[in-house]
Amino acid sequence: MSRIVTDQMDHKITLPDEPLRIVSLVPSQTELLFELGLEDEVVGITKFCVHPQEQFRKKTRVGGTKKIKLDKVRELSPNLIIGNKEENTEEDIRALQQEFPVWMSDIKTLDDALEMIRSIGLVTGQDVQAEQLAGQIRRSFSQLQQAVMGMQPLRAAYVIWRKPYMVVGQHTFIHHIMERAGFRNAFGHLERYPEIDLERLMHQQPEVLLLSSEPYPFKDKHLEEFQIACPTAKIELVDGELFSWYGSRLLKSAPYLEKLRKKLSAS
């Protein structure tokens, strides 16, 4: 018998009652599937699904998150595709929905992420493991909240791109995670991922600049241009995966964020 499930975009999906052949179109959710023990069920991933490395080398790649190779997907004959509203294009998802069951996530907060983890556990028959994982993540972020409670909030800009410069605004998962870690987003009054210039960055007077390792790979060589624009700001190269991946990698995020906040508050 088949069963009907509802995703985070309120789509109803009919899943067959047979072993799953999963294509995952989102790196953080791909890592989650492997964490839940679905090595055999996952048959396709994207070229950005780099964790865990041993699975990245083994699995068929179906293009990038924004450019899915539909023919590659068809060759794999999946009976479940897992995507995300922000990371995949509407055009690709609509095309895939014509042929396959597609379960979509829509994540802007930690609660959304935990709901996604539990839902994917239910959809794939790994509900016990998923519930345990979600509980561990929630407890780690509760500890983070306790740790930063007595710290003065830091006014921070989180930079994700260069040429043009782009930062993180409100209604994004990164914005929410920044707030959880005791940062006050200097561009929290703007939507999503606004494009800025260095003059505008200077005008916002951030105390801290967080330069992400992804999607643009900021390095030490980029520090000077930001220090010239914001001479009094503390500048930190940060692990973008631990701010933005909303699957099982969240287990590592809270301890990392606590350590980062303590470092920036002490310096």
Q: Render 215-240 in DSSP notation, one character per residue.
A: SS---GGGHHHHHHHSTTSEEEEE-H
Select from 106, 127, 149 the last residue of a domain: 106
Answer yes or no: do 153 and 196 share one domain: yes
Q: Which of 80, 136, 127, 122 shows the shortest CA–CA distance to 249?
A: 136
Question: Phi and psi for 77 in degrees, rounded to 5?
Answer: 50, 55
Q: Which of 253, 249, 226 shows the shortest CA–CA distance to 156?
A: 226
Give residue 207's identity as a one-letter amino acid code: E
Q: What mean pLDDT do residues 30-36 have?
A: 98
Answer yes or no: do 66 and 156 share one domain: no
Tell me how far apart the alpha carbons of residues 15 and 20 are, in angstroms, rounded to a whole number: 9
CATH of the domain at 73: 3.40.50.1980
**pLDDT tens digit sequence for 38-91:** 999 999 999 999 999 888 999 999 999 999 999 999 999 999 999 999 999 999
Question: Phi and psi for 168 in degrees, rounded to 5?
Answer: -95, 130
Tell me how far apart the alpha carbons of residues 105 and 96 are, in angstroms, rounded to a whole number: 15
**% of the chain residues with pLDDT over 90:** 92
In three-state secondary structure terms, 74 is: helix
Answer yes or no: do 146 and 60 share one domain: no
Q: Please give the tally of structural domains in the chain.
A: 2
Q: Is the pLDDT reported for residue 266 higher than 80?
A: no
Tell me how far apart the alpha carbons of residues 201 and 62 are, in angstroms, rounded to a whole number: 38
Answer yes or no: do 155 and 259 share one domain: yes
Answer yes or no: do 155 and 240 share one domain: yes
Q: Which of 172, 190, 170 shows the shortest CA–CA distance to 243?
A: 172
**% of the chain residues with pLDDT over 70:** 99
- What integer pLDDT is reported at residue 267 of this predicted model? 65
Answer yes or no: do 199 and 249 share one domain: yes
Question: Phi and psi for 104 in degrees, rounded to 5?
Answer: -115, 140
Q: 28 lies in which domain range?
A: 3-106
Q: Name the pLDDT band for 1 (thresholds 50, 70, 90).
A: low
**Residue 64 backbone zone (phi > 0: left; psi -120 to 50: alpha; other: beta):** beta
Q: Name the pLDDT band for 26 (thresholds 50, 70, 90).
A: very high
Answer yes or no: do 149 and 99 share one domain: no
Answer yes or no: do 145 and 67 share one domain: no
**Contact partners, residue 66, CB within 8 Å, separation at least 6:** 87, 88, 89, 92
Q: What mean pLDDT do residues 124-135 have?
A: 96
Answer yes or no: do 94 and 200 share one domain: no
**Is residue 21 a contact partner of residue 124, using CB atoms and an 8 Å limit?**
no
Answer yes or no: do 175 and 214 share one domain: yes
The model's pTM is 0.94
Higher pLDDT, 265 or 19: 265
For residue 234, being part of any structural domain is answered with yes
**pLDDT tens digit sequence for 174-233:** 999 999 999 999 999 999 999 999 999 999 999 999 999 999 999 999 999 999 999 999
Select from 106, 129, 151 the last residue of a domain: 106
Work out the mean pLDDT of the chain and round it to a whole number: 95
- What integer pLDDT is reported at residue 19 of this predicted model? 73
